[in-house]
Structure 1
Amino acid sequence: MLLTPRTKPSRPKSVRIAVAVLAATTSAALLAASAPQPAAPLGIGDRLFPHLGNPGYDVTSYDIAFTYHGDNSKPLDALTKIDARVTAPLERVNLDFTHGKVRSVEVNGAAADFTTAGEDLVVTPHARVQPGERLRIAVRHTSDPVSRDVEGGWVRTGDGLAMANQADVAHRVFPCNDHPADKAQFTFRVTAPKGLTAVANGLPLAEERRADTTTWAYRTRHPMATELAQVSIGRSTVLHRTGPYRLPVRDVVPTKDRKQLEPWLKKTPDQISWMEDKVGRYPFETYGVLVADARTGFELETQTLSLFEKELFTRPEFPEWYVESIMVHELAHQWFGDSVSPATWSDLWLNEGHATWYEALYAEEKARQPLEKRMRYAYRLSDSWRAAGGPPAAPKGPRPGEKISIFRPVVYDGSALVLYALRQEIGRSDFEAVERAWVHTYRDGNATTADFVRLASEVSGRNLDGFFDAWLYGAKTPPMPGHPDWTSTPPEKKAASGKK
Structure 2
Amino acid sequence: MLLSPRPGSRAARRLRGAVLVAASAGLVAATLPAPTPLGIGDPLFPHLGNPGYDVLTYDITFRYGGDNTKPLDALTKIEARATDRLERVNLDFTHGTVRSVMVNGRAAEFTTKGEDLVVTPATAAEAGQPLHIAVAHTSDPSGAQGTGGWVKTGDGLVMANQADAAHRVFPGNDHPADKAHFTFRVTAPSDLTVVANGLRVARTRPLPLPRVAGGQAAVTTWEYRTLHPMATELAQVSIGRSTVVHRTGPHGLPVRDVVRTADRTLMEPWLKKTPGQLAWMEAKVGPYPFETYGILAADAETGFELETQTLSLFERSLFVRAAYPEWYVDSVMVHELAHQWFGNSVSPRTWSDLWLNEGHATWYEALYAEEKAQKPLETRMRAAYTMSDTWRAAGGPPAAPTPPAPGDKISLFRPVVYDGSALILYALRQKIGKAAFEELERRWVSDHRDGTATTADFTGLAEEISGKDLTSFFAGWLYAKKTPPMPGHPDWRSRAVSAPKPG
Could you report, residue by residue, the CA deviation over 1:121-158 in whole angstroms, capped at 9, with x for unpaired residues?
Answer: 01111111101100000000000011168611001000
Structure 2 Cα separation of the partners of residues 64 and 186 of structure 1? 8
* 1:483 is aligned to 2:479: no
What's the counterpart of residue 353 of structure 2?
347
AA paired with 1:106?
A: M
AA paired with 2:193?
A: T
What's the counterpart of residue 401 of structure 1?
407
Q: CA deviation at 1:489?
A: 2.0
Alignment partner of 1:313 out of 312, 316, 319: 319
What's the counterpart of residue 416 of structure 2?
410
Alignment partner of 1:201 out of 197, 201, 206: 197
* 1:109 is aligned to 2:105: yes
Structure 2 Cα separation of the partners of residues 64 and 56 of structure 1? 22
Alignment partner of 1:297 out of 291, 297, 303: 303
Could you report, residue by residue, the CA deviation over 1:186-236 in whole angstroms, capped at 9, with x for unpaired residues?
Answer: 000000002000000000110000220000000000000000000000000
Structure 2 Cα separation of the partners of residues 142 and 436 of structure 1? 42
Structure 1 Cα separation of the partners of residues 236 and 258 of structure 2? 12
What's the counterpart of residue 228 of structure 1?
234
Structure 2 Cα separation of the partners of residues 44 and 92 of structure 1? 15
What's the counterpart of residue 456 of structure 2?
450
Q: CA deviation at 1:495?
A: 5.2
Could you report, residue by residue, the CA deviation over 1:375-423 in whole angstroms, capped at 9, with x for unpaired residues?
Answer: 0000000000000000000001011210110000000000000000000
SS across alignment from 2:442:
helix
Structure 1 Cα separation of the partners of residues 282 and 359 of structure 2? 18
AA paired with 2:480?
A: G
Gapped runs of 5+ residues in structure 2? 1-28, 209-217
Q: Is the 8 A contact 2:145 2:151 kept in 1?
A: no
Could you report, residue by residue, the CA deviation over 1:305-349 in whole angstroms, capped at 9, with x for unpaired residues?
Answer: 000000000110111010000000000000000000000000000
Q: CA deviation at 1:490?
A: 2.5
What's the counterpart of residue 434 of structure 1?
440
| Number of equivalent positions | 464
Structure 2 Cα separation of the partners of residues 457 and 53 of structure 1? 31
AA paired with 2:175?
A: H
Structure 2 Cα separation of the partners of residues 248 and 235 of structure 1? 22
Alignment partner of 1:276 out of 269, 272, 282: 282
Structure 1 Cα separation of the partners of residues 277 and 125 of structure 2? 48
Structure 1 Cα separation of the partners of residues 240 and 123 of structure 2? 43
AA paired with 2:60?
A: I
Structure 1 Cα separation of the partners of residues 304 and 222 of structure 2? 27
AA paired with 2:383?
A: Y
Distance change >3 Å, CA 148–CA 305, structure 1 → 2 = closer
Structure 1 Cα separation of the partners of residues 409 and 324 of structure 2? 29
Q: TM-score, normalised by structure 2?
A: 0.91
Correspondence list, 1:163-242, <5 A = 163-210=159-206, 211=208, 212-242=218-248
Alignment partner of 2:119 out of 100, 107, 123: 123
Q: CA deviation at 1:34?
A: 5.0
What's the counterpart of residue 12 of structure 1?
none
What's the counterpart of residue 57 of structure 2?
61
Q: TM-score, normalised by structure 1?
A: 0.92
Q: Is the 8 A contact 2:108 2:122 kept in 1?
A: yes
Which one has the largest radius of gyration?
A: 2
What's the counterpart of residue 252 of structure 1?
258
Could you report, residue by residue, the CA deviation over 1:406-457 in whole angstroms, capped at 9, with x for unpaired residues?
Answer: 0000000000000000000001010000000000000000000000000000
AA paired with 1:92?
A: R
Structure 2 Cα separation of the partners of residues 222 and 149 of structure 1? 29
Q: CA deviation at 1:36?
A: 1.2
Structure 2 Cα separation of the partners of residues 224 and 149 of structure 1? 24
AA paired with 1:489?
A: R
* 1:332 is aligned to 2:338: yes
What's the counterpart of residue 12 of structure 2?
none
SS across alignment from 1:491:
coil
Gapped runs of 5+ residues in structure 1? 1-32
AA paired with 2:53?
A: Y
SS across alignment from 1:451:
helix
* 1:471 is aligned to 2:477: yes
Higher relative contact order (CA 8 A, sep 6+): 1
What's the counterpart of residue 29 of structure 1?
none
AA paired with 1:290?
A: L
